[in-house]
Structure 1
Amino acid sequence: MHTVDCLGWVETNMGPAIMLQRVLNQDGSPSMTLKSALEHGLLDWNMVKGMLYELRTWAIQYAVVISELNIKNLMLRTGSDGDRLVVVDGLGGRKPDMVFHLRSRIPWMARHKTLKRWPREYNKVKDAVMNILK
């Protein structure tokens, strides 16, 4: 699974926010952000590229709108079944308007949005990864 459970809304000093379940590795230890994993030398570009491909495949299969990806909102969950990226922000849309609600109810609209945005989001993550791996 490439997401975690949403626990509800909380009030923060910056306004309302969604609280998510903590991302844990299979052994129960806290997962690192993709950024931290790269900085610790745990991944190379080919590994990240494979995990991004798996994430895209999952999002299309389950009609999940991925609106923004970056190396700080992707967590690296490790386990015996392999490593995978978990999205903790950037799903859905920026505002809960009519189109947002339609995409959440009409799978082909969600898939279309993800397919349309994917090249831009992929390149943004690739650039950030390459900057760290230099």
Structure 2
Amino acid sequence: MDSTGRATSTAPPEALNLATLIGTGNQRECWQHPLDPSLCIKVSRAERSADLLENALELHYLQHLNTRKLTSQHLPKIHQPVATSKGHGIVVELIRGRDGQAAQTLERMLHSGAISQLEALGLITEMLHWLHKNGVIWNDVNLCNVVVAHTCAGRPYLVIVDGLGGRRYDLRYRLRCKFKFLERWTARRKINQHFPKILAYLGLSDAPPAGSKAASAALPRRATVHH
């Protein structure tokens, strides 16, 4: 600990030196991987060292989804834990926008006017439909936790970059990972619980519930869900 009582970390000699900060959240920072521009490294903020668990949970849940053989354009590819100059981190695919820079969050694109509310609703509904169908838990439903990416043909879609799985590695979390029916039930409950809040944020509170037949029917033909 330092003189203020906060935890500090001393990087081992073989640690990767992080120099380019991509973004900062409440618990973690995202840094450009110094050896591979297609990757980024998520590191818990030094003053929030208790939140090292968030990295471990994200790593565990994405590896759990891999054991379920679930892959999707909506999920980032995760690699492995790594030692860095900022502390222990996890290596994750860096999602980029059409300009080649790190992809922007849906919230930021809405605020800038780069995407309309109705376009955002279509993208959100497409992603939530996939989560609902496959029983994937998005625990922290927030427009800051998804970024807008594009296919080779230029079609936009959302990628969840934070909030998957759970907040604690407790008995409930472990049971959800062990029993698929419980994981699926939790995933659907989270979607139904948070979807009205998303609609209110978009000013579209009269839209159909996510996962419903009406919501699925509202998807444009080009927004086919990818597995």
Shared fold by TM > 0.5? yes
**Distance in 2 of aligned mates of 1:46 and 1:105:** 37
Counterpart residue number, 2:140: 68
Question: CA 1:103–1:34 in structure 2 vs 1: closer, same or farther (change >3 Å)?
Answer: same
Q: Which runs of 5+ in 1 are unaligned?
A: none
- Find the structure with the greater CA-based Rg: 2
Counterpart residue number, 2:115: 43
**Distance in 2 of aligned mates of 1:47 and 1:7:** 31
Counterpart residue number, 2:171: 98
1 or 2, which has the higher helix percentage? 1
Q: Which runs of 5+ in 2 are unaligned?
A: 1-72, 204-227
Deviations 1:16-58, CA, capped at 9 Å, x for gaps: 6544221124674431111121122122222111111111121
Counterpart residue number, 2:129: 57
Deviations 1:80-124, CA, capped at 9 Å, x for gaps: 262111111111111112321232233221221111111332233
- The normalised TM-score by structure 1 is 0.78
Q: Equivalent residue of 1:76, what SS? A: strand
Percent of aligned pairs with the same amino acid:
24
* Matched letter for residue 158 of structure 2: L
Superposed CA RMSD: 2.7
Question: CA 1:10–1:124 in structure 2 vs 1: closer, same or farther (change >3 Å)?
Answer: farther
Q: Equivalent residue of 1:32, what SS? A: coil
* Matched letter for residue 109 of structure 1: L
**Distance in 2 of aligned mates of 1:23 and 1:124:** 26
Counterpart residue number, 1:123: 196
Which is bigger in relative contact order (C-alpha 8 A, separation at least 6)? 1
In the alignment, does 2:161 pair up with 1:88? yes
